[in-house]
Structures are given as structure tokens and as C-alpha cells.
Amino acid sequence: MFTRTVMGLLLALCVLPAQAKPLEFAGGADRTKVIDATKLLSQAPKYHQSEVTVKGTVTKVCKKRGCWMTLSVDNTEQITVKVRDGDMVFPMSAVGKTAYATGRFEVFELTLEKSRRYLAHKAEENGEVFDADAIQKPITVYRLKPNAVTIL
């Protein structure tokens, strides 16, 4: 009897996560129009201000208001999905999950000084140590202003 009960509980624990429903904002992202991240980032100026759908793994979420999340879209690049405070609130539990976001893609080429200030601000938000002198080259920031998001 004990073995049967334990087996039943184990089966339930395995099945329940597989049946979890996606978390959708504004009806969910348009997953039929996902653009390959490598293509998007290699041709970023072409897609600047265009509506796209991206797919990635959530690596960070705004701890204060859930107003942004960072998606790892390939081995080295990330896209920040940013909304106005309160429009969508991304949960901390999204970290590690796959997300789709549909919205306007933006590219920001920062100067070296602006790169340092931007990265210092991000480090402060995340409670991380930051050394501005370690930044020797300007960075490019990729951002998506979403109108719909799905977190699996």
C-alpha cells in the first residue's frame, strides 16, 4: 500500500509540471512569426523599429517592478524586453523559462561613456559589483518594446 501511494505521488509530481499553462500578457506573443535571433542581430539596423517576435530564455527579471526581463537569444547576445511600469509585470519565477515576445525592436549604439553608465546602472539594479574601467569598448543594446508576451 505504501509503495502504491509513493508511486502515485511521484507520477503526479512528474505530470503536473508538464501540464502547466503558459503565462500570457496581452493575449500572448505571435509564435507563428518568430524571427531567428542570429538573423535578427546580424541585421539589427534593418529591423530597427520593426515589429518582430523573438524567442529566448529568461535570464533576469526586474526585481523592483517586473518591468523588464532579459532574454538570452543565442550563445552571447541578449535582448531586453522592456515595458512601462505596470503595463505588464514579469514574475521572478520566469527566470530559466522560455519566453516569446512580440513588439517593436530597437537598437542603441552607445558611446563608451554611455556604455559604462548603462552597465553601472544595470549592475546596481541587480546588486552586482561593477568596474567601469573594465569596459574598454562601446556596446550595442538590443531592446524589444512588447505588445504581447508568452512565458512557457
For residue 139, pLDDT beyond 90? yes
Query: pLDDT for 1-47, tens place per residue?
Result: 545 544 444 444 454 455 578 999 999 999 998 998 889 999 999 99
For residue 123, pLDDT beyond 50? yes
Q: Is residue 47 part of a domain?
A: yes
Region 116-120 average pLDDT:
93
Q: Is residue 48 part of a domain?
A: yes
Q: Is residue 32 part of a domain?
A: yes
Total domains in the chain come to 1
Give the per-residue pLDDT at 9.
Answer: 47
Which CATH number belongs to the domain containing residue 38 in this structure? Answer: 2.40.50.140
Q: Is residue 6 part of a domain?
A: no
In terms of residue numbers, what domain contains 79?
23-109+135-151
Question: Phi-psi bin for 127: left (phi > 0), alpha (psi -120 to 50), beta?
Answer: left
Q: Is residue 50 part of a domain?
A: yes
